[in-house]
Structure 1
Amino acid sequence: MNFKLTHSMLLEFLDTDATPEQIQEYVSLGGPNVETVEQVGNEYVYDIEVTSNRIDAASAFGFALECTAILPRYNKTARLKLNPLREWTLNTIEKAHSHMPMHISLQQDDLAQRLMAVVLANVHVSKDPTDIGRLIELCDERSVNNVVDISNYVRIMLGHPVHMFDYDKIKKQVMNVRLSNKNESITTLDGKAFTLPGNDIVIEDGEGNLIDLAGIMGAKNTEISEDTQNILFFVPTFNGSYIRKTSMKTAQRSSAVAYFEKQVDTERAPSVLCFGAVLMQKLGAQISSDVIDMYPHHFKGVQVQAQVSYINTLMSTSLSAKDMVQLIEPLGFTSVQISNETISLDVPSYRAHDVRSQVDVAEEVARIYGYHNIPNTVLSGSPLMQPEQAEIMLKVNRQIRNYLSSIGYNEQYNYSMISKSLIEACKLHEENHLRLSNTISEEIEYMRTSLVPSLLKNIADNNGRATTFNFFECARTYVKQDNDLPIEDTVLALASTYDFFKVKGIVERLLAKLHIQLVTFAADADKPYLLKGMQAGIYSQGQCIGYIGAVAHSTLDTMSIPQKVCVAEINLSQLTTHIQAQPPYKTPHAFAKIKRDITYTSSPALTFNTLSSKAFAASAHILSLNVVSVYQSKVTVRFEFGFADKNMTDTEADEELKKITASVPELQ
């Protein structure tokens, strides 16, 4: 995530002689990435990116800690002038001038790690510009009024979201933190109305009105206005998983969500409350209740041990245990025990979710030490060998892509999921597909068992741009199995506006380039989205490796495809077992060959495959058999005869042909 911070806000905690440009350069080398530094008038504004595990650094104080550790490595002075976690404690808050009632309850302990609140009276709300308002606007936060601006300022400074309620609008001064019921409604501060799906953290007042969509945004009915006189300053630490789910379900993102979903530090809450209360007191507010502190899940300290030799081996360095501790102490780590071989550290509460083992300690030492200072070393050990099958598959995929691209086919990349409507359009069965339980769209709800529906959709989507299409895709399919994981095969699919025989020829040529032997086609395919009588199974050495066919008119009409389309699908996972590394070598025939043509009427009883198998069984001297021409139902084939050790005569060729016609009566 990214957040913005002004240089003057940073200097509230940091004392340094580094310029903003130097801070950007040096801190980015080992800490959060400072993407830009922009000068606005007399102010500098940092745009800082932090990784999701480093939400602790997404504040002025957190960034200042990084500066104190990193900048001295580049001969720049940097120290904390103020540590709010030590100096802003509950002991520093004034005693209450009065005791205005407020009751907060938590329905179940897992909704929040900690809830803190205090009532502030005699607040003077104003929309007049203030220094804080101008600062937060530089940080891309809209200035609303002096009270709301303070809540945003506190979050930017300390990295913990807070909320201001109009105390007098909270009915019966009761707040109940609970899970929402299905179809409950709430209107948030931005005027949007939501009907909640249920199991979202909400806050209701004493009359059952929802006054906060917790961790997302407050409700309109407790909004701070110019008439507000008393406020409830609320510092929650909500369960991040609930907040993220609600944000996803309602499609609402806010600055608070970005922090809560990554789990903010519970131990920082008192400092946040103290800081906010002090700022409010500067506006004339008075502490008017005891501090409410509900802490069902107290922080349990985390301690880690790290081997000095382990860290030095990773970094190729020879640092001592003392050197390592000195590098990371400015980040808040404290040493418990140090020896020549081991260091034991107490991890600060704001890093407890992130630093759990010695490898995490090694990462901290390495980044502060400076990645550029780590010596370059050549990788040792033998290279990891890829499985033979994986190597073959990569080579096959490359050959397929090169060949199909060279003849004018365009490769497609589609989701592995398709919609129910696409399944129905191709007359497939929904129950044979794995369904995602957490799909974000109906368009990507079912795992594909075939690539053909996706390619047909590609043609339908592009029909307004062209009239001829040649698409292919190599991807995995997922075939459902009962009580087991799905079968995952790598598959090649083609979809083209070429006619059936041209696509068949392309498939044959492709398989020949892959050195696949004994390829045959049989009219036994039965795909519901293909035309009857215009589909065939593709076989290699007797094993079915795919199919080819013309798409049925009903499927084309459903998908609004006006052209005729032919498709083919080949199971590459099965195909790889038939691939030969080198094509078989045939010695050129050294003696005279005789050709004989014969024309017959094609029928279901006599296909070319049937003729071919019977002919080769009848004659041992057939060198080749090919189709010469096709006219309506008439098919002309050409036999080529020859001996391996002598020239063949016309009479001998005629005798071989008679053997064939005797075994295939349809040729007579």
Structure 2
Amino acid sequence: MTISYNWLSKYLPKAIEPEKLAVILTAIGLEVEKVSTFETIPGGLAGIIVGEVLTCEPHPNADKLKITTVNVGAEQPLQIVCGAQNVAAGQKVVVAPVGVTIHPFNGEPVTMKVAKIRGLESHGMICAEDEIGVGTSHAGIIVLTTDAKPGTPAATLFETYQDVIFEIGLTPNRMDAMSHLGVAKDVCAYLSHHQKKEVKVKLPYQNSFKVDNKELPINVLIENEEACPRYSGITISGVKVGPSPSWLKNSLQAIGIRSINNVVDVTNFILHETGQPLHAFDVKAIKNQTVIVKTLPAQTSFITLDGKERKLLPNDLMICNGAGEPMCIAGVFGGAESGVNEATTNVFLESACFNPTYIRKTSVAHQLRTEAATRFEKGVDISGTVQVLKRAALLIKEVAGGTISSDIVDVYPNPLSKNEIALKYHYLKKLSGKNYHPDTIKRILTALGFEVVKEGIDEIRLAVPFNKPDITLPADVVEEILRIDGLDNIDIPATITITPASETLGFKHQLQQKLANYLAGQGYHEIVTNSITNSQYYSEKTLQHTVAMLNSLSADLNVMRPSMLETGLEIIAYNLNRKNNKLRLFEFGKTYFSNEVGKYVETEHLSLYLTGKITDDNWQHKNKPADFYEAKGIATAILQWCGINELQWKQDASNPQALKICSGKKQLGSVEVVPHEITSKFDIKQTVCFIDFDFNMLLQSNANLSITYKEVPKFPAVQRDLALVVPNNTDYQMLENIVQKLKLNKLKHMHVFDVFENEKLGNNKKSVAINFTFLDEEKTLTDKQIDAMMQTLMQAFEQEAQALIRK
């Protein structure tokens, strides 16, 4: 939030230096993140003065230049070379002497130095409008009125405005501080407490409000009282819409608000002064002199101030005229047909309180994040609508003329009572760590607007002001006391007693932690991506079962992810764009699925992403990029680490470069090379391998794992190699299944160590070399036993895989 120092100072009983004020604001929880200077004219014309041209002669070495002597109020006049055609003796002009920095309208600041122009020295510059930032004209130098005195600062002749701007990092719960008056009240509460005397805010409200006539009464009807608990309004006739006065423009521009016209500027000024949003209607749009607050049927068309047609939702609260026609989206955005413009003469001014839930849903659904909606969705002060309305009406009369032509209409069907909270002193001590005297507590809270309902020996009962809707619990009151007193004022005890925390991780978290540690040890980095993602990543078929967001903040984040792949590819693309090409990533996350409205399924995953070279190239060998087989290897290692050894790898029909990982009848996950049509959506040009596990399946399998110890075998293992010529379409899983069916209990391990293809082997043939490891834990295996087992293997391969044994 942006706060103007000049504006804020109007409400403080005494000006506080900006540096000290920034410290106070941060101390009371309104953290000042940045302090900057605002100037309507850059540089504030500092050092620029009035001069009088005494002489003006042609430059001897240039046809278009003049040699002038200029009186600037010093002992000696300045010699200045000037190229303006309109310069003449006797003129009063604007001069930038040597050493002064000018700020051109377009361009970088320039500091004046003694310059030699065509052989003659020039001690400064006679300025045009654009050269000092007071205008855009470069037709000639500025010629002042003859009564301007040489040496007078130019800043006194032009309207300059300077301000100090505070950027405050406001927490979402601090609705009460979303205005200059709200901040001023906090500052005064801080001063009252620390100076031990009452410091009051200088309120801008006047007692001079009166109704001039009752010629334009407007009736108000609230049909949806839940969405609009209070609505106030007043009519002002005979206004003249036009530019705002300088003070109003400057106040708004200093905090980044563009001036529109005097009436609209007043509503924006009041918004940032009090925190109460207002809206001004052209009375011509209010048919039957009636305003109706209600919802309209879904898909009703409405054109907003920005000229866009919007289709209304069933819960969009609308301000309608007596004919039922919408004029404004309540608390969010005005309509194109009812707004104030140059032709407006009669204005109806609205000051209302709307239900935060309605405003939030409408604002998000239509992506209209306006200043008014931001305040309404946090809750405005329902008790202040009429008081603010009077203030705004008088300001409009001041800047736009006109007369107040109706009584204040105030529809408040169900007046609210203040929320009451009992604060026990021992609870305050427990949470704050500090003993507060009851008088101190009372002084702080009354300065913040709390009303003391009842005082007791051990507690105080308080009525919460309407401008603090976030205060609902005793802990909230403790926070208010602490921030006004100052967190730095909490005493630090000499000794601190701490009971060591003992947290026992559940089985699920233990496995997750072990896997994370293992993968980190293998060179993988953990990532955490957003579960909300972009629906454009997915096909129409996938989106039929995707969980859509009802209140998405943007079109890029509108569905819950149905797959872990796409959010991981976002991270990969981000890194590749920054030349980080070798990536090993893993993530524990969830995907979301829906078969019908209201029925949702969450699935937990462990996903891994591999892309780029396995290691860096070195002088011994060139490295190769990560491929499917490396991905399959790390997937196998993870499963074995979880105690899952009996695996089946099944081809995925939807992707020829993908395998399903199964154990028994359960599918544990999949390994794939991500298809190009998917990676191209993320502008990824290198191969990406993706491993995806159903984490709950890993959990179930690991839960049944029992760890047993076996002695190291006393007898040696024996290894034999076997080369098979098999059809090209034969995969290793098939060969492994053949071996498993033989149930050779002395065969402990088998693996492929070579695959060879050559025309000499025959068409569509390949050679697969397999290493077998045999071991008998009770005795040494004989050659005869090993030969018998190898013979059994060869026969099985010949019969079931049509293999030819290479001798």
Contact 2:223–2:292 (CA<8 Å) still a contact in 1? yes
Residue 503 (structure 1) aligns with: 631
Contact 1:103–1:173 (CA<8 Å) still a contact in 2? yes
1:613 pairs with 2:733: no
Of 631, 640, 656, which aligns to 1:531? Answer: 656
Residue 451 (structure 1) aligns with: 564
- Post-superposition CA distance 1:375-429 (Å, at most 9, x none): 3464733415133431331231232244153xxxx8766543566775549xx76
AA at the equivalent of 2:606 = V
**Structure 1 residues 343, 438: closer, same or farther in 2, change over 3 A?**
closer
What is the number of equivalent residue pairs in this alignment?
Answer: 647
DSSP-derived class of the 1:530 partner: coil
Distance of 1:49 and 1:462 partners within structure 2: 30
Between stretches 260-269 and 453-462, larger displacement belongs to 453-462
DSSP-derived class of the 2:606 partner: strand
Contact 1:456–1:495 (CA<8 Å) still a contact in 2? no
TM-score, normalization by structure 2: 0.69
Distance of 1:10 and 1:563 partners within structure 2: 57
AA at the equivalent of 2:446 = E
Contact 1:16–1:77 (CA<8 Å) still a contact in 2? no
Deviation at 1:453, TM superposition (A): 6.0
AA at the equivalent of 2:752 = V
DSSP-derived class of the 1:486 partner: strand
Between stretches 370-379 and 432-441, larger displacement belongs to 432-441
Residue 693 (structure 2) aligns with: 570
Distance of 2:555 and 2:248 partners within structure 1: 46
Between stretches 158-167 and 414-423, larger displacement belongs to 414-423
Residue 477 (structure 2) aligns with: 361
Contact 1:10–1:61 (CA<8 Å) still a contact in 2? yes
Residue 47 (structure 1) aligns with: 167
Deviation at 1:232, TM superposition (A): 2.3
Deviation at 1:558, TM superposition (A): 11
Distance of 2:380 and 2:592 partners within structure 1: 40
Matches within 5 A, 1:204-219: 204-207=320-323, 209-219=325-335
Residue 33 (structure 1) aligns with: 31
Contact 1:619–1:656 (CA<8 Å) still a contact in 2? no
AA at the equivalent of 2:421 = V
Of 8, 11, 18, which aligns to 1:10? Answer: 8
Of 381, 384, 388, which aligns to 2:499? Answer: 381
Distance of 1:439 and 1:511 partners within structure 2: 38
DSSP-derived class of the 2:313 partner: coil
Residue 771 (structure 2) aligns with: 638
DSSP-derived class of the 1:547 partner: strand
Contact 1:477–1:490 (CA<8 Å) still a contact in 2? yes
**Structure 1 residues 535, 467: closer, same or farther in 2, change over 3 A?**
farther
**Structure 1 residues 228, 21: closer, same or farther in 2, change over 3 A?**
same
Deviation at 1:308, TM superposition (A): 0.5
DSSP-derived class of the 1:111 partner: coil
Distance of 1:195 and 1:481 partners within structure 2: 30
**Structure 1 residues 560, 655: closer, same or farther in 2, change over 3 A?**
same
**Structure 1 residues 123, 402: closer, same or farther in 2, change over 3 A?**
same
Contact 2:364–2:552 (CA<8 Å) still a contact in 1? no
Residue 18 (structure 2) aligns with: 20
Residue 251 (structure 1) aligns with: 367
Of 668, 676, 684, which aligns to 1:545? Answer: 668
**Structure 1 residues 545, 195: closer, same or farther in 2, change over 3 A?**
closer
**Structure 1 residues 605, 5: closer, same or farther in 2, change over 3 A?**
closer
Structure 1 gaps of 5+ residues are none
1:341 pairs with 2:458: yes
Residue 370 (structure 1) aligns with: 486
Deviation at 1:247, TM superposition (A): 2.4
Deviation at 1:311, TM superposition (A): 0.7
Contact 2:609–2:688 (CA<8 Å) still a contact in 1? no
Between stretches 412-421 and 103-112, larger displacement belongs to 412-421
Deviation at 1:342, TM superposition (A): 0.8
Distance of 1:440 and 1:58 partners within structure 2: 22
Task: Considering fraction of residues, name the structure with more helix.
Answer: 1
Between stretches 249-258 and 515-524, larger displacement belongs to 515-524
TM-score, normalization by structure 1: 0.82
Matches within 5 A, 1:187-198: 187-189=303-305, 191-198=306-313
**Structure 1 residues 275, 443: closer, same or farther in 2, change over 3 A?**
closer
1:160 pairs with 2:283: no
- Post-superposition CA distance 1:498-536 (Å, at most 9, x none): 554443234334556xx34462442445x442229x635
**Structure 1 residues 364, 597: closer, same or farther in 2, change over 3 A?**
same
Contact 2:423–2:461 (CA<8 Å) still a contact in 1? yes
Deviation at 1:265, TM superposition (A): 1.0
Residue 104 (structure 1) aligns with: 220
Deviation at 1:292, TM superposition (A): 1.0
Contact 1:5–1:156 (CA<8 Å) still a contact in 2? no
Residue 396 (structure 1) aligns with: 515
- Post-superposition CA distance 1:558-585 (Å, at most 9, x none): 9999988764333344335539999987
**Structure 1 residues 417, 531: closer, same or farther in 2, change over 3 A?**
farther
- Post-superposition CA distance 1:281-310 (Å, at most 9, x none): 445533322221111231212211111101
Distance of 2:190 and 2:585 partners within structure 1: 52
- Post-superposition CA distance 1:225-281 (Å, at most 9, x none): 455443323222233333333322332233222222222112111211221233344
**Structure 1 residues 523, 641: closer, same or farther in 2, change over 3 A?**
closer
Residue 607 (structure 2) aligns with: 492
Contact 2:422–2:462 (CA<8 Å) still a contact in 1? yes
Distance of 2:536 and 2:178 partners within structure 1: 45
Q: Percent identity?
A: 23
Distance of 1:592 and 1:658 partners within structure 2: 21
Of 253, 264, 269, which aligns to 2:385? Answer: 269
Deviation at 1:145, TM superposition (A): 3.3
**Structure 1 residues 601, 481: closer, same or farther in 2, change over 3 A?**
farther
Contact 1:321–1:338 (CA<8 Å) still a contact in 2? no
- Post-superposition CA distance 1:345-381 (Å, at most 9, x none): 1211212x22222111111112122111223464733
Distance of 2:229 and 2:510 partners within structure 1: 51
DSSP-derived class of the 1:143 partner: coil
1:67 pairs with 2:66: no
1:522 pairs with 2:648: yes
Contact 2:364–2:551 (CA<8 Å) still a contact in 1? no
Distance of 1:484 and 1:105 partners within structure 2: 40
Larger radius of gyration: 2
- Post-superposition CA distance 1:198-249 (Å, at most 9, x none): 3433333345554333323433434444554433232222333333333223
DSSP-derived class of the 1:618 partner: coil
1:476 pairs with 2:622: no
DSSP-derived class of the 1:629 partner: strand
Of 412, 416, 440, which aligns to 2:531? Answer: 416
Residue 57 (structure 1) aligns with: 177
**Structure 1 residues 340, 18: closer, same or farther in 2, change over 3 A?**
farther
Distance of 1:477 and 1:453 partners within structure 2: 11
Distance of 1:115 and 1:661 partners within structure 2: 91
**Structure 1 residues 26, 74: closer, same or farther in 2, change over 3 A?**
farther
- Post-superposition CA distance 1:622-658 (Å, at most 9, x none): 4543334333444333334455466554345334545
- Post-superposition CA distance 1:8-40 (Å, at most 9, x none): x32333213532221110221123223334444
AA at the equivalent of 2:31 = N
Contact 2:191–2:199 (CA<8 Å) still a contact in 1? no
Contact 2:748–2:774 (CA<8 Å) still a contact in 1? yes
Deviation at 1:102, TM superposition (A): 2.2
Contact 2:526–2:585 (CA<8 Å) still a contact in 1? yes
Deviation at 1:58, TM superposition (A): 1.8
1:179 pairs with 2:295: yes
